[in-house]
Amino acid sequence: MRIIYETTGRAREYSELAVNLYQGCSHACAYCYAPATLHTDAARFRLTPRLRGDNTIELIERDARDLQARGDTRPVLLCFTCDPYQPLNDEHGLARLAIETLHRYDVPVMILTKGGKRAEQDFDLLRRGDMFGVTLTFVDDAQSRRWEPGAALPQERIVSLINAHDRGIKTWVSLEPIIDYSQTVWLIRLTSPVVDHYKVGKMNHMPGADLHDWKSIANGVKQVLDDLGADYYIKKDLAKYLEPAAIAGGK
């Protein structure tokens, strides 16, 4: 069984290759799709994250060696069904070991986290071809605490983007799920000077998601990104609401 795997469906719009370092995530985001995707109990997933096994890095090395042998230079995303920089990583440090192992075989990495400052511990490893990304949903701290109780607050995540940008690391932001349109627009305007790429997606897994005016949201977000000259990709679930003449990507 491969630990670095080919993604499918919506995930493939983010990255074609990925690895999940842990089982579960203590960020406990209300909108998290992972428990349903993994067919696991949501409470256990959120409250008891754990190691996948004792040989995670060995398996990553095996798969990275195979990628290098095939000449496959696609980046590997850390991570889809967990956060590489949740508190559990402070004890085990798998994120750093994974990055070092992937780099040993010339495999670039694409990080996605809500870990805030905790994620900066490995900035010294990131190099040309790598990308550092954060998920942003709210500007308001109170709403973030309610929806993402274990994650770093929005300002801390934005500061980590600024610090990555200042070090010359390519940055990206996942604006998925859009929960509050006005705050999504605010986040784009706040971060555009330090973000190299945005990926934008609708809310899919929550009650009431279909009550949003997704046509207005899709076209409004696209207009803001275009006005700022941003590089972006709007995921298919949201892009289908764009006006017929519109395209889903910028630049």
DSSP string, 126-176: --TT-EEEEE---S-HHHHHHHSTTSPPHHHHHHHHHHHHHTT-EEEEEE-
pLDDT for position 209? 63
Between helix 56-70 and helix 94-104 the angle, nearest 10°, is 20
pLDDT for position 38? 78
pLDDT for position 25? 93
Give the pLDDT band (50/70/90) at residue 246: low
- Give the mean pLDDT of the chain: 93
What would the mean pLDDT of 38-46 be, rounded to a whole number? 78
User: How much of the chain exceeds pLDDT 70, in percent?
Assistant: 95
Specify the higher pLDDT residue, 210 or 157: 157
Nearest-angstrom CA–CA distance, 249 and 231: 7
Q: Is the pLDDT of residue 157 over 80?
A: yes
Give the pLDDT band (50/70/90) at residue 39: confident
Q: Is the pLDDT of residue 18 over 90?
A: yes
Give the pLDDT band (50/70/90) at residue 158: very high
- Yes or no: say if 22 and 88 are a contact pair by the CB < 8 Å rule: yes
User: How much of the chain exceeds pLDDT 90, in percent?
Assistant: 82
**CATH number of residue 111's parent domain:** 3.20.20.70
Specify the higher pLDDT residue, 45 or 146: 146
Number of domains present in the structure of the chain: 1
Specify the higher pLDDT residue, 52 or 153: 153
Q: Is the pLDDT of residue 105 over 70?
A: yes
Q: Is the pLDDT of residue 182 over 60?
A: yes
Nearest-angstrom CA–CA distance, 158 and 21: 24
- Yes or no: say if 201 and 237 are a contact pair by the CB < 8 Å rule: yes
Q: Is the pLDDT of residue 208 over 90?
A: no
Range of the domain at 200: 5-250
Q: Is the pLDDT of residue 120 over 70?
A: yes
pLDDT for position 40? 83
Burial bucket for residue 62 (CB in 10 Å: 0-12, 13-18, 19+)? middle
E strand spans, 24-94: 50-51, 76-78
What would the mean pLDDT of 165-184 be, rounded to a whole number? 97
* Minimum mean pLDDT range among 49-58, 156-165, 179-188: 49-58
